[in-house]
Amino acid sequence: MRTIEHWIGGAATRAGSTRTAPVWNPATGQQQAEVLLAEPSDIDLAVSAAAKAFESWSQTSLTKRTKVLFAFRELVSRHARQLAEIIADEHGKVVSDALGEVQRGLEVVEFACGIPHLLKGDFSDQVSTGVDVYGFREPLGVVAGITPFNFPVMVPMWMHPVAIACGNTFVLKPSERDPSASQLVASLWAEAGLPDGVFTVVNGDKAAVDALLDHPDVAAVSFVGSTPIAKYIHQRASANGKRVQALGGAKNHAVVLPDADLDFASDHLVAAAMGSAGERCMAVSAAVAVGTGADQLVETVAAKAAAVRVGPGRDEASEMGPVVTAAARDRITGYIDAGERQGATLAVDGRGLVVPGHEDGFFVGPTVLDHVTTEMDVYRDEIFGPVLSVVRADDVDQAIALINQNPYGNGTAIFTGSGEAARRFQRGVHVGMIGINVPIPVPMAYYSFGGWKDSLFGQSHVHGPEGIAFYTRAKVVTARWPRVDHPIAASYHFPTTT
Ligand code: NAD
């Protein structure tokens, strides 16, 4: 059985870990590896190595840091296929989707390659007679990233290229369900010339996370995962005086107005709901059918959902793979049971799907539930599976009100031919990321990614300008170089300008 180790001080290591967790192949349902689970003493070792590395990395010139980033960019690009196959084997998503994930991560690396420009400071000449003021930003120290299973390459890349470019050292605690990609990423950083200890990977569970949250030498924590854990991370790390950004779960609504192109909207709705088996924080899980065209929309969506080709992620013919674990499959089918029990209509039922040759794989077929109401569990909870719930609204204002009553506020989309309705929607919804005829509006790397309400705890979104601000702190210098022949008298009142 292959054992997935940590990456500490520039090399793979078991450190003092003895506990392990299974890593499954979701397409076959077989265990394919075991991953070590770090103890607090391993976290201490990792953070110490990162703190030591910070002493020199934070002093490394922007020119040298940028060279490492460009080299890393080339290596990730060259290994994109290998990374995508590792993702497909452990997460289950199809390789073409995993390649898209790697590409979106790579775009953050490309953003971080512009670090000399991004860290340019401000300078004000002669703010007072003979006095200049200038400001610049410095790195924080050792920063930690705790990441979910659903994007094992992209979500960590929202964090580490930016943190490292800013001069920090980074300790990643990836999901224990698909940890292998992070080992390859660590070796690519090393090959790019990143000094030992600047990028660290510790595998583990709650024990490792808690040790990071409590460690006095961890300055900041970036978290992406489910809402209850995001809330917990935010509270515990904040109580320990750390800077925290904690992105949580989602329930993303896509509103379809009667003037939308039905074929376009239904194609995109199905892809956004079923792509990656619905295991995306930006997946559409609720469709809001507005007005009289609802029945026709459901009929079209159901036909397209039933036609999605489900199979192993490595099979190029597959459009949708299995879900990550048997427990995830059982949770999802439990929600479909509940939806049926609570009065929703099953337009497409994905329970009991069997993929020939992969009978033990963790498959759930695309599912569409119609006549869903806001009290039902399928509407209230994040299912994180290939399940689309259709709710109905009379007009766009009712759709906006529905979205705003929901505790989550990650992403949302509207399908319409009306600029007026789209503008009313974009201004009215309490949601961080909005798509207009774009169902999964993930911002480009040079904008910041993040939700509102229960989808984010803390102030900062990730990457883009907010990522740079999160991983640095400001210094402002007020400087005077008096002429020896013009002495300036000291005064006892609070300094004012002259
Ligand atoms: P999760 O919350 O179970 O796990 C996330 C991380 O937290 C993992 O590294 C895990 O080891 C750790 N963790 C789990 N339980 C913990 C505990 N009790 N104490 C301390 N640490 C713990 O999430 P997941 O199932 O891996 O990922 C899916 C979730 O992530 C979904 O809710 C999804 O919406 C969310 N997500 C959100 C975004 C976003 O940008 N808002 C992006 C991707 C995923």
Task: Tell me the per-residue pLDDT of 415-462, one tens digit each, with 9 for 90 and over.
Answer: 999 999 999 999 999 999 999 999 999 999 999 999 999 999 999 999
If one residue of 171, 224, 234, 335 were mutated to test the ligand 1 pocket, choosing by the most ligand atoms within 8 A of its CB, it would be 224
Percent of the chain topping pLDDT 90: 96
Sign for the pseudo-dihedral over CA of 262, 265, 268, 273: negative
Average pLDDT over residues 236-263: 98
Cβ–Cβ under 8 Å, residues 154 and 101: yes
Asked whether 467 lines ligand 1 (CB < 6 A), one says no
User: 246: closest CA among 8, 42, 410?
Assistant: 410
Query: What tokens appear for 219 in the block?
Result: 């300055």
The predicted structure's pLDDT at residue 314: 98
The predicted structure's pLDDT at residue 308: 98
pLDDT at residue 486 above 90?
Answer: no
If one residue of 24, 175, 447 were mutated to test the ligand 1 pocket, choosing by the most ligand atoms within 8 A of its CB, it would be 175
- Cβ-based burial of 86 (10 A; exposed 0-12, middle 13-18, buried ≥19): buried
User: 218: closest CA among 156, 142, 271?
Assistant: 142
Distance in angstroms (rounded) separating the CA atoms of residues 316 and 210 = 40
Distance in angstroms (rounded) separating the CA atoms of residues 287 and 258 = 13
User: Which DSSP symbol is given to 92?
Assistant: -
Catalytic residue numbers?
A: 281
Q: Which residues contact 442 (CB under 8 A, 6 or more apart)?
A: 104, 282, 411, 433, 449
User: 199: closest CA among 395, 36, 57?
Assistant: 57
What the chain holds in terms of domains, given with CATH numbers, is 2-248+455-477 (3.40.605.10), 252-436 (3.40.309.10)
Q: How many angstroms is it from 254 CA to the middle of ligand 1?
A: 23
Q: Which atom of ligand 1 is found nearest the CA of 146?
A: 9
Q: Which atom of ligand 1 is found nearest the CA of 151?
A: 43
Over residues 184-222, the pLDDT tens digits come to 999 999 999 999 999 999 999 999 999 999 999 999 999
Sign for the pseudo-dihedral over CA of 216, 203, 185, 313: negative
pLDDT classification of 488: cutoffs 50, 70, 90: confident
Average pLDDT over residues 31-36: 98
Q: How many angstroms is it from 224 CA to the middle of ligand 1?
A: 6
Asked whether 423 lines ligand 1 (CB < 6 A), one says no
Matching residue, tokens 């991560």: 105
Q: Which atom of ligand 1 is found nearest the CA of 410?
A: 41
The predicted structure's pLDDT at residue 104: 98
Cβ–Cβ under 8 Å, residues 34 and 25: no
The predicted structure's pLDDT at residue 278: 98
Distance in angstroms (rounded) separating the CA atoms of residues 253 and 310 = 24
Q: Which residues contact 139 (CB under 8 A, 6 or more apart)?
A: 54, 58, 163, 166, 167, 168, 471, 472
Average pLDDT over residues 354-371: 98
pLDDT classification of 289: cutoffs 50, 70, 90: very high
Cβ–Cβ under 8 Å, residues 165 and 199: no
Q: How many angstroms is it from 182 CA to the middle of ligand 1?
A: 16
Over residues 144-198, the pLDDT tens digits come to 999 999 999 999 999 999 999 999 999 999 999 999 999 999 999 999 999 999 9
Cβ–Cβ under 8 Å, residues 171 and 200: yes
- Dihedral of CA atoms 376, 379, 382, 384 in degrees, nearest 10, equals 110
Matching residue, tokens 């984010």: 456
pLDDT at residue 252 above 80?
Answer: yes
Q: Which residue has the higher pLDDT, 155 or 493?
A: 155
If one residue of 91, 153, 281 were mutated to test the ligand 1 pocket, choosing by the most ligand atoms within 8 A of its CB, it would be 281
Asked whether 209 lines ligand 1 (CB < 6 A), one says yes
Asked whether 222 lines ligand 1 (CB < 6 A), one says no
Q: How many angstroms is it from 59 CA to the middle of ligand 1?
A: 34
Distance in angstroms (rounded) separating the CA atoms of residues 191 and 206 = 31
Matching residue, tokens 């005064």: 491
Matching residue, tokens 């991953």: 35
The predicted structure's pLDDT at residue 427: 98
Over residues 54-76, the pLDDT tens digits come to 999 999 999 999 999 999 999 99
Asked whether 382 lines ligand 1 (CB < 6 A), one says yes
Asked whether 146 lines ligand 1 (CB < 6 A), one says yes
User: Which DSSP symbol is given to 494?
Assistant: P
Distance in angstroms (rounded) separating the CA atoms of residues 475 and 137 = 6
pLDDT classification of 495: cutoffs 50, 70, 90: confident
Nearest CA, atom 24, ligand 1: 148
Asked whether 224 lines ligand 1 (CB < 6 A), one says yes
Asked whether 281 lines ligand 1 (CB < 6 A), one says yes
Asked whether 410 lines ligand 1 (CB < 6 A), one says yes
In three state form, how does the secondary structure of 300-366 look?
Answer: HHHHHHHCCCECCCCCCCCCECCCCCHHHHHHHHHHHHHHHHCCCEEEECCCCCCCCCCCCCCCCCC
Q: How many angstroms is it from 247 CA to the middle of ligand 1?
A: 9
- Helix runs in 93-246, H state only: 95-112, 115-118, 154-165, 180-191, 206-214, 227-239
User: 149: closest CA among 192, 101, 95, 218?
Assistant: 101
Cβ–Cβ under 8 Å, residues 235 and 205: no
Cβ–Cβ under 8 Å, residues 95 and 27: no
If one residue of 19, 229, 245 were mutated to test the ligand 1 pocket, choosing by the most ligand atoms within 8 A of its CB, it would be 229
Distance in angstroms (rounded) separating the CA atoms of residues 426 and 434 = 7
The predicted structure's pLDDT at residue 347: 98
Q: Which atom of ligand 1 is found nearest the CA of 228?
A: 2
Matching residue, tokens 């402002």: 476
The predicted structure's pLDDT at residue 494: 82
Q: Which atom of ligand 1 is found nearest the CA of 247?
A: 41
The predicted structure's pLDDT at residue 411: 98
Distance in angstroms (rounded) separating the CA atoms of residues 339 and 94 = 28
User: 115: closest CA among 70, 165, 61?
Assistant: 165
Asked whether 226 lines ligand 1 (CB < 6 A), one says yes
Asked whether 411 lines ligand 1 (CB < 6 A), one says no
